[in-house]
Amino acid sequence: MPTVRINDENVTFNEGATVVDAVAQTTGRELTAEGKPADGGRLGVAVALAEEVVPRSRWAGVELSEGDQLEIVTAVQGG
């Protein structure tokens, strides 16, 4: 069971879990395999793994490995 760092916090997932699972767990939203909210609308979230953006279309294909560093970001007030 891989433990990964998401936004500087350790989270443990089941074997075979992917980036989709990481995003679903962090946002508390149910996601489709395409990384879209199951209840429609836009998610407004992006993921970087080891400082590289993982496009939404590839979330389901990227399995989490022990020690992965993920950044999960969204828009906040600013500017």
Partner 1 sequence: MADMSLPPLQIGGYSLESRLIMGTGGITDLAALEAALVQSGTTLTTVAMRRYSPETKTSVFSMLERLGIDVLPNTAGCYTVRDTLLTAELAREALETDLIKVEVIADEHTLLPDVIETLEATEQLAERGFTPLVYTTDDPAAARRLESAGAAAVMPLGSPIGTGLGILNPHNIELICSRASVPVVLDAGIGTASEAAAAIELGCDAVLVASAVTRAQDPTAMAEGMRLAVEAGFHSARAGRIPKRQHALASSPMEGRIDLT
Interface positions with partner 1 (CB under 8 A):
7-8, 26-28, 41-48, 51, 53, 55-56, 71-79
CB of 7 or CB of 16, closer to partner 1: 7
**In this structure, what are the phi and psi dihedrals at residue 16, rounded to the nearest 5 degrees?**
85, -5
Q: Residue 41: which residues within 8 A CB-CB, separation 6 or more?
A: none
For residues 55, 51, 19, 25, the Cα torsion angle rounded to the nearest 10 degrees is -120
16 vs 44, which CB is nearer to partner 1? 44
Q: Would you call 31 exposed, middle or buried from its count of C-beta atoms within 10 A (0-12, 13-18, 19+)?
A: buried
Q: How far is the CB of 76 from partner 1 (least distance, A)?
A: 5
Minimum separation from the CB atom of position 59 to partner 1 (A): 11
Q: Least distance in Å: CB of 18 to partner 1?
A: 17
Nearer to partner 1, 55 or 61 (CB): 55
